[in-house]
């Protein structure tokens, strides 16, 4: 694979132009062209000679939209192909207040959660900062956005991969996508979701990047959590809650817990009671998720009535909670489903 131009921040673009003997202002031109989201071969503000020199060294289009599925509610699901042929996925969800893009941070995932399609074949590789950024640039451009008037207003790092298992690249991506000369998306409009890698949650609190921290909890005791999330053997719920408090202390940002309701596993009244007791008085919010069933994973989500009952139990105990609107379930909205289908390992479940 060639180098990835989108990996570079303003300073690194300036160094590149100096290296190629180009005037300094070209770095700014290049940054603006990158933020537009096209291929290097289409950067027509640069001379053909410079484009050719860049193309000799950098990938023309490191992340290409290979397939788009559109759901009735307007949700779009993308299959992206990377320069080495690896596949990742993304989603664009349309809301009244703007459009939220879900991005991937790794090809595959090593966490192997029992309900998730992303970990079915383990981790293939980390994405570079530029490969994460290029997903946003490609979707923003496709949706008619420009750097000045973005079509993608919000980001969630909830595609395939565990963002904190690819820490350096993810933090660099966050700096690139929030940079003034780039897409300039506010950290407040970005949510990073983790399965709870405690030391990295603490490190993130110290980066000066006040993104919304979301933790996939999905259970109320360490024993139960370990049944569906192997990472629970490494970090306890108590340690996770402590890291969340530290995050709040450092960033002032309220944190969020994801809780996918799984039949016979974590969705009874006693689970709601325990969850409320764990979170009582904390500056947090609970997102209840209806499970997107994955063929290879023998777990069933609760029905809608049980989900609302669980929500009611939390609310009754003063916990801020919502039941997440399901978007795009019929196009295989859940992590890893489209890629798994492409690899012939799964059918994206139609509902």
**Residues found near ligand SAH in the complex (CB under 6 A):** 113, 115-116, 158, 162, 193-195, 216, 258, 260, 289, 291-292, 294, 334-335
DSSP class per residue in 62-113:
SEEEEEEEE-TTS-EEEEEEETTS-EEEEEEEEETTEEEEE---EEE-SS--
> Considering beta carbons, is residue 260 or 267 the nearer one to ligand SAH?
260
- Shortest distance, CB of residue 297 to ligand SAH, whole angstroms? 7
Q: Based on the residue annotation, tell me whether 3 is a catalytic residue of this protein.
A: no
Instruction: Return the residue matching tokens 């820490």.
Output: 167
Q: CA-CA distance, 28 to 14, in Å (whole number)?
A: 8
Q: CA-CA distance, 59 to 61, in Å (whole number)?
A: 5
The helix-helix angle for 167-178 and 129-142 (nearest 10°) equals 40
The helix-helix angle for 25-36 and 10-19 (nearest 10°) equals 120
> Considering beta carbons, is residue 135 or 292 the nearer one to ligand SAH?
292
- Shortest distance, CB of residue 299 to ligand SAH, whole angstroms? 8
> Considering beta carbons, is residue 8 or 302 the nearer one to ligand SAH?
302
Residue 150 · residue 185 · CB < 8 Å: yes
> Considering beta carbons, is residue 78 or 115 the nearer one to ligand SAH?
115
Q: Residue 154: in which H helix or E strand, if any?
A: strand 154-157
- Shortest distance, CB of residue 163 to ligand SAH, whole angstroms? 6
Nearest partner of 286 among 263, 315, 320, judged by Cα: 320
C-alpha distances out from residue 207 to 157, 158, 174, 201, Å: 17, 20, 10, 10
Q: CA-CA distance, 124 to 134, in Å (whole number)?
A: 19
- Shortest distance, CB of residue 87 to ligand SAH, whole angstroms? 16
Work out the burial of residue 344: count CB atoms within 10 Å of its CB; fewer than 13 is exposed, 13-18 middle, 19 or more buried: exposed
| Residue in 22, 59, 76, 89 annotated catalytic | 89
Q: Based on the residue annotation, tell me whether 89 is a catalytic residue of this protein.
A: yes
> Considering beta carbons, is residue 45 or 351 the nearer one to ligand SAH?
351
| Residue in 109, 116, 244, 335 annotated catalytic | 335
> Considering beta carbons, is residue 43 or 235 the nearer one to ligand SAH?
235
- Shortest distance, CB of residue 294 to ligand SAH, whole angstroms? 5
> Considering beta carbons, is residue 46 or 232 the nearer one to ligand SAH?
232
- Shortest distance, CB of residue 105 to ligand SAH, whole angstroms? 8
Q: Residue 135: in which H helix or E strand, if any?
A: helix 129-142
- Shortest distance, CB of residue 30 to ligand SAH, whole angstroms? 32
- For the beta sheet containing 190-194, the strands, ordered from the edge strand earlier in sequence to the opposite edge, are 63-70, 76-82, 87-95, 98-102, 154-157, 190-194, 212-216, 255-261, 284-290, 321-323
Q: CA-CA distance, 286 to 308, in Å (whole number)?
A: 13
Which two tokens mark 260? 């996918």
Just list the catalytic residues. Answer: 89, 335
């Amino acid at each position: 694979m060639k180098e990835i131009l989108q990996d570079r921040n303003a300073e690194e673009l300036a160094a590149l132009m100096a290296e190629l003997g180009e005037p300094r202002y070209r770095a700014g031109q290049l940054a603006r062209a990158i933020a537009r989201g096209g291929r290097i071969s289409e950067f027509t503000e640069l001379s053909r000679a410079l484009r050719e020199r860049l193309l000799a060294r950098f990938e023309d289009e490191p992340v290409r939209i290979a397939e788009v599925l559109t759901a009735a509610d307007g949700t779009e699901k993308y299959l992206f192909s990377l320069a080495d042929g690896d596949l990742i996925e993304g989603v664009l969800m349309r809301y009244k207040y703007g459009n939220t893009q879900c991005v991937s941070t790794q090809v595959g995932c090593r966490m192997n959660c029992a309900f998730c399609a992303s970990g079915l074949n383990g981790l293939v590789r980390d994405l570079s900062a530029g490969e994460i950024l290029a997903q946003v640039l490609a979707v923003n451009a496709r949706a008619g956005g420009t750097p000045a008037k973005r079509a993608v207003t919000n980001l969630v790092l909830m595609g395939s991969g565990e963002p904190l298992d690819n820490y350096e690249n993810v933090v660099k991506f966050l700096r690139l996508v929030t940079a003034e000369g780039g897409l300039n998306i506010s950290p407040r409009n970005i949510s990073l979701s983790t399965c709870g890698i405690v030391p990295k949650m603490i490190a993130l609190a110290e980066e000066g990047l006040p993104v919304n921290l979301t933790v996939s909890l999905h259970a109320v005791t360490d024993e139960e959590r370990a049944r569906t999330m192997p990472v629970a053997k490494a970090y306890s719920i108590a340690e996770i809650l402590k890291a969340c408090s530290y995050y709040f202390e450092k960033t002032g940002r309220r944190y969020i817990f994801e809780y996918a309701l799984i039949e016979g596993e974590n969705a009874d009244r006693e689970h709601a009671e325990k969850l409320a007791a764990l979170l009582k008085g904390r500056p947090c919010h609970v997102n209840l998720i209806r499970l997107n069933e994955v063929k290879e994973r023998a777990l069933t989500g609760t029905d809608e009535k049980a989900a609302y009952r669980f929500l009611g139990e939390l609310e009754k105990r003063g916990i801020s909670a919502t039941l997440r609107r399901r978007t795009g379930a019929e196009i295989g909205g859940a992590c890893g489903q489209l890629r798994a289908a492409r690899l012939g390992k799964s059918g994206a479940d139609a509902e």
